[in-house]
Structure 1
């Protein structure tokens, strides 16, 4: 296409979705911060200090993990797993607070931003911590663990592969996908 034939209005690019996601991430973090304070803090001086502090740490790490400019895999894994573990700790300190939501958001971003081979173990750590928190704080412990664990694994399983990245080391078929051993025989 020649430059004079191009449309005058800019076309929608994939980066526009990333900008929208970043704006929604900041809005979600603000809503969780407000709901933590508005929902009331648990009794006890230690819990009153720990809940806002853990919420700030978890949301800051989650926002770093959700940021467009952060692409280093080790940094993403560290930020998001620690954010999810902070969410699980918040669930222990304040069962009616946003701990569940923070750990679930961490798992969702792990599934969106990381390749499957890294996303599954990373999200499993957070899911186990959140399931143990639910077990500890729930009246119906077994059903809480089964419900929580099943939803989290399924939510990561379907979205853990980036576009254009093969699902397995041998994906793509042909001799190149099989390390040059020649054509397949029936």
Structure 2
């Protein structure tokens, strides 16, 4: 993500914002439509290449064409991100972290993004839990913001929020509140529970 403190001041959790020569789009998974409202998760795309953009991938020359042609006119980064009201981007995770719930492919980052877009949630991690009937079910681990209290009502409200954002198939079957989420050395949430 292009970012230079000379152009934009620092902002916690943000990886930056687009600048003059680069336009960075933010699109909903699979639909290819720009997301204009703030704090909505979607695929992070680049709508115009950087001057130093790669021309090929060593050992996989077709990959560059595939990444550019999946949605016409944009480059798919493979990241799921959201943009706040000030135009800063926060990368939530990878789009290829996909769960198979009853034959439906659901990105764990999309569910995490939907949970984090609720004002009561500070952090979220989602995993697939094996299930005999559905293949996998969605299990979410959530850390609430200061002043928010874990409860059955909060769990129901978060599930309803995800249903409104992504639809009924993406609602976590299990939701567990945690004081903190485990992190890697680099500070990323480690979803290997």
Give the TM-score normalised by the residue count of structure 2: 0.28
Structure whose residues are more often strand by fraction:
2
Larger Rg: 1
Structure whose residues are more often helix by fraction:
1
Give the TM-score normalised by the residue count of structure 1: 0.28
